[in-house]
Chain A
Amino acid sequence: MRSKNTIPSLIITLIAPLLILMLVSSTAFSVTSQRAVESIYVDISGYIKREPWMRPGGTVRVPMMGEANTLNPFTLTTSWEFMIIDLIYDTLVIVTPDLKFAGRLAKSWSVSPDGLTWTFRLYENAKWHDGYPVTADDVVYTFETLKKFANVTRFATLAPLIESIRAVDKYTVEIKLSKPYAPFLYMIASQVYIVPKHLWETFGIRTSSDMANFGNPVPIGSGPFVLAERKLQQYTKLVANPNYHLGRPLIDEIVFPVISNPEAMLLAFQKGEIDVMTWSIPYASIDKVKNIPNVVLHAVTELGARFMYFNCQRWPMSDVNFRKAVHHVIDLNYVAATIYQGYALPGAPGRLPPFLTPWYNNKIPDKETLYPFDLRKASELLDKIGFIDRDGDGWRDAPDGKRIKLIIYSPVYDPLRVRWGDILADNLKKIGVNVEHRPLEWTALVAQLKSGDWDMLIIGGLGSLDPDLLYDIFHSKGSWNMGRCTIPGLDELLEKQRFETDVTKRIELIHRIQEIIAENVPLLNAVHQQFVFAYRVDRFRGWVTGPVLSPDNWFSYMNLYSVELSKPPAEVVTTPPKTEIAPIFTPTTQPPTITTPLTLATSPVAGAERTWMTIIALLAVVVVAIVVVMLLRRGK
């Protein structure tokens, strides 16, 4: 999603942020049992580092590819909007880089033993940017507003779960849920920004369309930064909030220039005109970027996956043997190692990524062991279900003699997914399946997906720290079960794990669910892709990153300090971390040679080389043209 590949990527620049946000916002963290809960509550001060030699000052430059169209925290959709709103407004709690919970506006919180009543105690010194104190009334107002306008905001799932909310005293809020819900704390940590009641009451937001149309041009929040300037298509500038209740950020300003061209963003980063990459670096450029002094690369592996839906409402996708056959026609080790140049893990057959402990079931063999790349085996499986050529036209037909023509849709903006889509289609054709691969523009692809009129469809995303996401993807009524696949026995397990309070039992359930998924393969989980970001340490240090956290985040902006202004005592001087980044996936077995799908195995030319090649090509054309003109003249 945050990957980019030359010019077609421009097309996605405006759409990709949506996807990122989708990934971010669907990331849910479990609060499964009381004991587990307490071990993951931590104090925020441990995440904000201050040394006596650090001096405030400096302007950090953070590029945005697109514009933050709205600063309304209830209706934000793109990651650019998120970047700015997250610094202006505060949530009650925040997920730390090491995936624990720390209080942000809430000094402390507790939950009743039945998991229904949550009590939050606010920081008494928190103030809105206009000087008014942040009180329980503001929190109550925020939750009432999100309940009222749930249909136009991002809270359609959360709102019905909130039974009631009331202010116990000036700084204490009590939220009652209608049923215990594991990812509750995660949801409010990632999504619910508290807004000032005294201002929002005056905005005249009465109907849903008022809310949808409200762009919040002058956002007054309680966060560490205050909006200073916003220039259409140019930049947004934030300045440090000197009265922030968790301490003033060390940097003075953040400027978010709009850099619409991903190539220009990378060039500007390499030259030091911006301090961080907010768009992932194309794999071909990584080698070039990692040798630049003062640049640190940071790879984030997606919790979701690049995957392909099967439409189980149609034959033959409804037959498990067909789905298994499709698994046999593609070598995922090859896909990860070659198409993704090693910056991806081959997709786990149980859907959860291998690093998601303890939920990931490591007893399930990988796809190449379970369903190895083998066209003959695939062909046999198709024969077995009666999917054979009956009219002698060279294509397989349905048992009733009907001709079958299948279409695989994929997103045209992502050449990597288009490439493995090609492999699938080519290999299926080799074993006699009449299939066409049709990459589509994003909005058209999503419209196609929603219409239900498709056979197989390649898409990506859907990651979560909480395995409850499996419910959404695989339950027969799950909101992301787009292929409407019903796997016997799966629904009840998915329902059961949801309210299972014993972590050990829940882990067992989740492991069993993954086994069932791996046996029935309702979707083809191709790869868990890595996105590579980078930041510079020559002007600012203190960047904070995490396994699923890119360098542009709240913790970074709270910790950054200017290198120029802050002179650490000699003993503290550390050399900036040396960039050590390598493809995470190296196949243990040699990539298949002859049996390999024949399509598109060339590795792209590195960025700089390509640039010089084009310059040389241009010069050559000019020279040739001049010579030809001269010769023609002489001939006369």
Chain B
Amino acid sequence: MSLIRFLVRKITSRVLVFYLLLTLTFIIPRLMPGGAFAYLIENPNVTPEMREALIKAYGLDQPLYVQYYIFLRKLLLDGDLGVSYTYKRPVLDVILEALPWTLALVTTSIILSFSIGVPLGVWLAFNRASRTGVSVSGLLFIIRSIPGFWLGLLMLIIFGYYMGVAPLYGAYTYGVTYSNLYEWLADVISHMWLPILTLVLLILPFPTIYTRNAVVDVIEEDFVKTAKAKGLPETMVMLKHALRPASLPIVTLFALELGTSVGGALLIEIVFSLPGMGKLFYDSIYTSDYPLLLGIVIFVSAVTLALITTVEILYAIIDPRVRIR
């Protein structure tokens, strides 16, 4: 019973959050400098007649609440995100075309940085007093504070230009035909390793420091001492006894990162000229392509919310303590 009540409460609150988000994404761009639709209608090349025609064509002459109503009705009833001003194609199509690239970049980077970061964090927790341990933590904090754009450019200049071990743009060699899938895959990897490395560096501090702190919290607990006292090997103590209680919040962090990393990918995609959602998002802001901008925000937040909710529900099923809170 309490599980059902928990589910209902969680899902209602998430739906409300999503609705608030929709409203905000509708309002905020209309407050941007230059006003709605600036890219097309404030273009000096556009004649007044053309401007009028465009405003009418896109329904911008309607009162705001009518636009809002149409926006919600289309979105919720038809799942229609509208037509992109710049691409002149349905927003969903444009997003779905860009999605695989970002997904590949972001998931690979997150999986890599978690599979490096979590063990590294456990190790750091156990070696938190050693000289190397402190240096590694310090280094992580330094990396954490480097702006992504700058780090990307630096990597591009060092590895791409001076060392010549990575191409300077693109996700694969554009315009060539591949004889088989493996050839294509090898080409993609040869192009993507540097952006992935950069993104891994940018994400790495989060799981590492998070794990380190979580493990440090349990390391002084009696059961860890007991495990040590039993004479278990160090690695066994680290992984089985210390990491396990700390692992639940790490899973949440993983789900959260999946959503928020689209923002991190944005910079990487621009620096390395990669296709993807981040680049799309950036373009949509600077061209004031509202349907696209809103579409991306809605899409990404829906995915993030769904992920978090799923993870929370899974918790509730696994761990009864969660339901009570």
Contact = CB atoms under 8 A, between A and B. Distances in A.
Contact of A447 (B35, B45, B169, B269): B35
Contact of B286 (A11, A63, A632): A11
Given A25-B45, A69-B88, A259 B169 contact: yes
A18 B160 CA distance: 31
Contacts of B38: 443, 446-447
Given A264-B156, A264-B273, A446 B286 contact: no
Contacts of A267: 156-157, 160-161, 168
Nearest to A444: B33
A152 B138 contact: no
B153 A263 contact: yes
Interface string A50-64: 000000000101010
A205 interface: no
A35 interface: no
B88 A214 contact: yes
Contact of A614 (B49, B154, B274): B154
B139 A625 contact: yes
A381 to B, nearest CB: 32
B53 A209 contact: yes
B156 A257 contact: no
Nearest to B87: A69
Contact of B168 (A21, A69, A153, A273): A273
A443 B275 contact: no
B86 A234 contact: no
A584 interface: no
A447 B33 contact: yes
A444 B161 contact: no
B187 interface: no
B283 A66 contact: yes
Interface stretch (B64-72, B170-178, B227-235, B313-321): B170-178
A273 B169 contact: yes
Interface in A36-91: 59, 61, 63, 66-67, 69-70, 77
A450 B53 contact: no
A14 B43 CA distance: 12
Interface string B5-42: 00000000000000000000000000001110011001
Contacts of B169: 63, 257, 259, 261, 264-265, 268, 273
Query: Which has the most chain A C-beta neighbours within 10 Å: B38, B139, B167, B273?
Result: B273
A271 B134 contact: no
Given A7-B149, A18-B45, A625-B139, A611 B286 contact: no
B61 interface: no
Interface string B89-114: 10000100110000000000000000
Nearest to A22: B45
Given A232-B94, A264-B169, A447-B35, A237 B53 contact: no
Contacts, number: 180
Contacts of A215: 87-89
Contacts of A237: 174-175
A200 interface: no
A615 B154 contact: yes
Interface in B133-186: 134-135, 138-139, 142, 146, 149-150, 153-154, 156-158, 160-161, 164, 167-171, 174-175
Contacts of A419: none
A234 B171 contact: yes
A452 to B, nearest CB: 14
A182 to B, nearest CB: 21
A605 interface: no
A10 B270 CA distance: 9
A441 B175 contact: no
A208 interface: yes
Interface string A206-218: 0011001111000
A611 B157 contact: yes
A544 B244 CA distance: 68
Nearest to B158: A615
A363 interface: no
Nearest to A154: B45
Interface in A329-379: none
Nearest to B161: A267
Given A440-B33, A441-B34, A14 B149 contact: no
Nearest to A611: B157
Given A15-B286, A443-B33, A261 B271 contact: yes
Contacts of A231: 174, 275
Nearest to B97: A232
Given A215-B88, A267-B160, A14 B283 contact: yes
Given A267-B156, A273-B167, A151 B49 contact: yes
B44 A67 contact: no
B170 A234 contact: yes
A7 to B, nearest CB: 7
B273 A261 contact: yes
21 contacts: A7-B149, A22-B45, A59-B175, A69-B87, A70-B86, A70-B88, A151-B49, A151-B52, A152-B53, A156-B47, A232-B97, A233-B279, A235-B174, A259-B169, A261-B270, A264-B168, A273-B168, A443-B38, A447-B33, A447-B35, A625-B138
10 A-B pairs with least C-beta separation = A443-B34, A209-B57, A255-B175, A233-B275, A215-B88, A444-B33, A443-B38, A235-B174, A151-B49, A156-B47
Interface of A: 7, 10-11, 13-15, 18, 21-22, 25, 59, 61, 63, 66-67, 69-70, 77, 150-154, 156, 208-209, 212-215, 229, 231-235, 237, 253, 255, 257-261, 263-265, 267-268, 270-271, 273, 440-444, 446-447, 450, 611, 614-615, 618, 621-622, 625-626, 629-630, 632-633
Given A151-B52, A212-B57, A215-B88, 13 more contacts: A11-B286, A13-B286, A61-B174, A63-B169, A152-B50, A153-B50, A213-B83, A232-B97, A233-B279, A257-B170, A261-B153, A264-B272, A625-B138
Interface of B: 33-35, 38-39, 42-45, 47, 49-50, 52-54, 56-57, 83, 86-89, 94, 97-98, 131, 134-135, 138-139, 142, 146, 149-150, 153-154, 156-158, 160-161, 164, 167-171, 174-175, 269-276, 279-280, 283, 286-288
